[in-house]
Structure 1
């Protein structure tokens, strides 16, 4: 684009920013590389190195501040005949009186070692763990592209959501494999798992990555899921409620419905007492026989 703009307008384009609004799959076969291409099309594509501006800025700022303070103090002592700064003389005296076995010295050395290991890790690793390198363009090995992990995960999730019977799809994209978790609402479990694996493999193959990702599918069934060909369990029959007891029993029966013998006419059950007829504390019968006849 920069060369074409310079050719048409005569202006020098130092940087070109390209914003992609949409993508469409190319159904045409891939073009064959020319025989005089610059090297083979294979090879291992590495992800680009991260600039890491924040760690570099912090290290540069701390180093510049420490070096500037020390240089100012040394120049003020030798050129202006001033006394050394208190912080420098105090540091020298403290280091002279404390050995390697002190707790403060050991703690400071551990912190310095951790910071040094972190800086070495940043210097020796490329970074940008959130992107995946794509395969180089045939015949143009200097053109390199990367794909964001979240974009690859979204594409696989959309493809898996189109499988019939699948709900609640979750996809996590790593550097070597893609973990897909889904719930099954209806359909055969083995068939749906195979369809999910095939759909995820097809979607990953169309990304054009330098290192193919391996899909890993985990399928769980919903609580209301039933295997195909099985009818839902019929509800258990409920027994009809017993008829309400009536006031009297049959003419040929001497007992009521509950199996309790009916009392004789004019008498009361021995365990039935009327609250209103209970004797009070002032009216206590002297003869139990008289009280029984009175109750009868």
Structure 2
């Protein structure tokens, strides 16, 4: 007959520990205030180990969210001491085997938490913790989109001049943007204003072919009158078809740019520019530069 004696070996706040899955059957708990104090847990059953991991890790996330929500009500952020004690970010390790990949909880919640703490650490100037969070995200090969917040940019709107051209015609327009407007957002804006599909738009600012994820300010658009160039590909070049309902406007006259009564070839992206000498007028919404 075997007797077991239960003994309390420690009592810790969830925020004061980090819990790590070393293998599917081996977990490790460390006390943040005493890094040398580490406890190792061996499980006979992998399912039991996974259940225990799920309970502890999810409880840690919820405890941290509650603490942050209470501070959000007061308009505050977790202090750096709390950031350093974020268990998921410190304790999580990317799986090294197929078995660990199936058992380790690499769920979206954990990844989102890591991204949030990375952002807050950078804002707080905590280089050590920012590096730690970035390392954990890199171990999991998490696709990220990192952008400056709009607060980093001037708040005023910018009236940007745009020279628009396709293979057969050109016209000058203007549009309003913010310094933090990305090229991807600008493409959508021009699509809604002039029906030029994003797939046919190629933006050039300051002799640079623009990338979707960069802002207009990064290319030098910072004040009224700054200029950009928009070249429109043909629908065939952009591999768009008339059967695609989302791109059907490409084959129709554009109300803000179309000249009166002129017919265009099927794959033209822009109508001929009206000739003021012949009494033609620029359509509403088009600014002649």
TM-score, structure 1 as length reference: 0.21
Structure number with bigger Rg: 1
Relative to total residues, which structure has the larger strand share, 1 or 2? 2
